[in-house]
Chain A
Amino acid sequence: MSMKLVVGLDGHATGEKALSHAIALAKMAGGAEILVVHIIEWSPYSFHTAEENAMRHKRREEEIALAQDRIVAPAVKAVEEAGLKAAGKVRHGDVADTLDAITKEEKGDQIIVARASDGGFASRLFGSATSNLVMGASVPVTVVN
């Protein structure tokens, strides 16, 4: 059974390093499969106006299409060009929790992400998505600097 690597991309340039590392690792492992995942930060407990709710389904479709086009599809293409098997996924949710949940669903062996690209007060207080992932993930996590 071949290995499956899950690469979490947040759309920032640092993600490319994570992807290159995953490709290199997959080749070393003798052709592991790579699953490219982008999580759109979303909480079911946020507040919206009635008008925003009415538009929500449409917006969600647009957000998914945009992430698929701009982030996931180019990464999948890069993996395939490197001669490896690739797949892509876009989902809404808490970044760390959802990335881990997808990894479990897809029976991934390892998660590879880039270091968190944004700092600030909130991430110091609540932890960045990357640090939350490192703390809570159910498989080994590689953080690429």
Chain B
Amino acid sequence: MKKLGLSAALMAMASPALAQEAQSLDARVNEAFATATGPFVSFIFAPIPGTSFPWIVMWLVIGATIFTVYFGAVQFRFFGHAIKLVKGDYSDPNDAGEVSHFQALATALSGTVGLGNIAGVAVAVGIGGPGATFWMILAGLLGMASKFTECTLGVKYRNEYPDGTVSGGPMYYISKGFNELGLPGGKILAVLFSIFCILGALGGGNMFQANQAHAQITQITGDYPGWITGIIFAAVVFAVIVGGIKSIARVTEKVVPFMGVLYVGAALVVLIVNFNMIGWAFGQIFAGAFTGLGVAGGMVGALIQGFKRAAFSNEAGVGSAAIAHSAVKTKEPITEGFVSLLEPLIDTVVICTMTALVIIISQQLLVDQATGNYMLNEAGTAIATVDGNSGVALTSAAFGSAISWFPFVLAIAVILFAFSTMISWSYYGLKAWTYLFGEGKTTELVFKIIFCIFIVIGAAASLGPVIDFSDAAIFAMAVVNIFCLYFLMKLVRTELASYAGRLKSGEIKPFTH
């Protein structure tokens, strides 16, 4: 009976009527999703009155600038020291076997390096033009100070349980830090952050990944309903996070760094082959940054896109990295702050810039030869591209124009990046969830099941609503986190002054290995 049912279903799947039904299921999911998330998205991206500038973008940039000034450009002063810490020069050999600075950094990076660097940059450059790259790099450099602040606090105020496990992140430093300073409202803000963190985990850490992985697969296989990709992804993620099938996670851990190196290597190849165009590409980036070169919204349009995508890609100020970094073994919480400031540098300043350069150099964006400005698509919302591509498809086409087989490698990379980001964010979301509802097997299982359901929704919905919701949810985390960091940053400054003094006096010195 079961067999009959299955074959009937398979036959029906093959029929055009059912295929249409499946497509319309995607459309229904999409519509319901867009309606449900609309008000939240509108609030987060509301423009500053009298301008077209979203207040949230201003919020992130002002935050990063304040941290940069407050800590005296810590990202540049302690850059060399951060490298030494990652190399293990200051690690006690007796702590071998604990989480090293390198490992905490690598884990945090595996959560951020991914689709933001591949698809997100294409969205930024596709809408904001090459000029968006300039603002993205600037946001990346400033964001290093935000990351430093939050990750130092993440380690300082983590929970260490009697069984030796640790839990950390903004929800812990907000409630404990506010308590220590005698400020009211810490608990409420921590709860609010946790709610947004769960939404962020379901949005940017999940739906956006599933959505773009599906887009990448259909580039190769041809179009088919997104929920099918969603179910497959959901099943694999379920096997890892609920079934505890560590082997899948282990393979991903090994392959993802390799893919990252391969991606950067391929981008370098494209850049070396076209090295005579690199100067021109930077010219476009600078010109576009201040004039917009005809993009929708002009210079401000380029700036908004650049800042938005940088924040989405490196998550500086969002608070997610503080969760990942909090497991490190160190007696000095600030050392993890130094290490974490390398993250936006690697993620945004290096990898995102490479993607942007490849897209610009491959001339996927159409230029009006008469004016030298970029041509807009029919809707006037984004730059017209050679094949009408956007998002990950645009990056894929850009690489494909130089290395014909690379889109296949990219497809595998996108799927693996999407997967590793989902695993990372399932953990961030889970930590926020257990902060709200308490630790326990059943509570954890409920979150993990919800997480898997959202993978299916993400793969089925279209890019527009998914990207809006993903951005909105992640930025909502930054609203609470940065607000609280303003109150807590003096605690970090005390740590910084003490550490810098001891480093100078020679009290803190490298171990001879």
Interchain nearest-CB distance for A16 vs B (Å)? 26
A109 interfacial contact with B, CB 8 Å:
no
Does residue A98 face the partner (Cβ distance < 8 Å to B)?
Answer: yes
Which of B323-331, B360-368, B384-392, B490-498 binds A? B323-331
Q: In the complex, are the beta carbons of A47 and B165 less than 8 A apart? A: no
Interface contact A48-B88, CB-CB below 8 Å? no
Whether a CB of chain A sits under 8 angstroms from the CB of B167 is: yes
- In the complex, the answer to whether B97 meets A42 with C-beta atoms within 8 Å is yes
B165 touches A57 (CB 8 A): yes
Closest 10 A-B residue pairs measured CB to CB?
Answer: A92-B97, A58-B164, A44-B100, A53-B327, A92-B96, A50-B427, A47-B253, A60-B97, A57-B164, A93-B96
Q: Does A54 contact B (CB under 8 A)?
A: yes
A58 proximity list for chain B (CB < 8 A): 163-165
- Do B100 and A45 touch across chains, with their CB atoms under 8 A apart? yes
Give bound CA distance, A50 to B105, whole Å. 10
Do A53 and B164 form a contact, CB below 8 Å, given A47-B257, A48-B253, A93-B93?
A: no
Q: Are A57 and B96 in contact (CB under 8 A)?
A: no
Residues 29-68 of chain A: 1 if any B CB is under 8 Å from the residue's CB, otherwise 0?
0000000000010101111111101111110110110000
Q: How far does the alpha carbon of A58 sit from the alpha carbon of B329 in the complex, in Å?
A: 12
What is the 8 Å Cβ interface bit string for chain B, positions 151-182, against chain A (1 contact, 0 not)? Answer: 00000000000011111000000000000000
Q: How far, in whole Å, are A93 and B93 apart by their CA atoms in the complex?
A: 9
Instruction: Tell me whether A49 and B103 are in contact in the complex, defined as CB-CB below 8 angstroms, given that A42-B96, A54-B166, A54-B167 are known contacts.
Output: no
**Across the interface, which residues of A come within 8 angstroms of B329, CB to CB?**
56-57
Q: Is B98 an interface residue (CB 8 A)?
A: yes
Which stretch (B106-114, B291-299, B341-349) binds chain A? B106-114
Contacts A42-B96, A44-B91, A91-B96 hold; do A49 and B166 have CB atoms under 8 A apart?
no
Closest to B424 in A: A50
Residues in B neighbouring A51, C-beta threshold 8 A: 427
Residues of B within 8 A of A (CB): 88, 91, 93-94, 96-100, 102-104, 106-107, 110-111, 163-167, 249, 253-254, 256-257, 323-324, 327-329, 423-424, 427-428, 513
Which A residues touch B253, using CB under 8 A? 47-49
A-B contact pairs, 16 of them (CB 8 A): A44-B102, A44-B103, A45-B102, A47-B106, A48-B106, A50-B428, A53-B99, A53-B324, A54-B165, A54-B327, A55-B164, A55-B165, A58-B165, A63-B97, A93-B96, A101-B93
C-alpha spacing A44/B424, complex, angstroms: 20
Contact of B424 among A42, A49, A63 (CB under 8 A): A49
Give, as a whole number of angstroms, the nearest-CB distance from B490 to chain A: 28
* Chain B residues with CB below 8 A from A92, complex form: 96-97
Q: Are A47 and B254 also in contact (CB < 8 A) when A53-B103, A54-B165, A57-B164 are?
A: yes
Collect the chain A residues with CB atoms within 8 Å of residue B424's CB. 49-50
Given contacts A53-B327, A60-B97, A61-B164, contact A48 B427 (CB under 8 A): no
CB <8 Å contact, A50 and B256: no
**How far apart are the CA atoms of A61 and B427 in the complex, in Å?**
23
CB distance B100 to A50 under 8 Å? no
- Interchain CB contact under 8 A, A49 and B163: no
Instruction: Chain A residues near B111: list those with CB within 8 A.
Output: 50
Whether the pair A49, B97 counts as a contact (CB closer than 8 A) is no
Q: Which of B103, B165, B323, B427 is within 8 Å of A46, CB to CB?
A: B103
Check B98–A56 contact: CB distance below 8 A: yes
Tell whether, in the assembled complex, residue A47 and residue B100 are in contact, meaning their CB atoms are under 8 Å apart: no
Shortest distance between the CB of B93 and any CB in chain A (Å): 7
B327 touches which one: A47, A56, A61 (CB < 8 A)?
A: A56
A42 nearest CB neighbor, chain B only: B97
In the assembled complex, the CB of B409 is this many whole angstroms from the nearest CB of chain A, namely 20
Kindly report which residue of chain B lies nearest to residue A94, judged by CB atoms.
B96
| CB-based contact A56/B323 at 8 Å | no
> Smallest distance from the beta carbon of A8 to chain B beta carbons, Å?
16
CB-defined contacts of A64 to chain B, threshold 8 Å: 97
Residues in chain B near residue A47, CB distance under 8 A: 103, 106-107, 110, 253-254, 256-257
Residues on the B chain within 8 Å of A91, using CB: 94, 96-97
